Amino acid sequence: MKVRLAEALLRRKELQDKVQVLKAIDTKGLFELRVKRVNVADNLDEVTANVPKLKAEDVTRAYDWHAKQLRLVDAMIQQANWTTELEVPDSVMADYETPGGAK
């Protein structure tokens, strides 16, 4: 599939944002099973459990996939960067000169 450089740049930004979100997830606090047992009466306990809705491996798998896609699109952008030449006026690449000719 061929895409324009602008599309690849947008995809890279999208992937960077997703990778940052996934990287920021606190896996230790989020995936920990927490159980609380309170004795209510003789031979009767109340048990409260907080069970994670996500699996740690699902988040890791999503992070790895997005990070790989980011590396691939970044490599393609870098290749285009090194192999593409632009036609620009000389003045664009010239150094600034103060009035009077001093640099």
Apex 84 CA angle, 78 and 85, nearest 5: 135
Helices (H), 1-103: 5-23, 27-30, 56-83, 90-93
Flag whether 29 is in a domain: yes
Per-residue pLDDT of the chain (103 residues; tens, 9 = 90+): 899 999 999 999 999 999 999 888 876 667 676 777 788 788 888 888 777 777 888 888 999 999 999 999 999 999 999 999 989 898 888 888 888 766 5
Burial of 101 (0-12, 13-18, 19+ CB in 10 A): exposed
- The domain tally of the chain equals 1
Flag whether 98 is in a domain: no
Flag whether 97 is in a domain: no
Q: Which domain holds residue 57?
A: 5-83
Longest Cα–Cα distance of the chain, Å, equals: 96
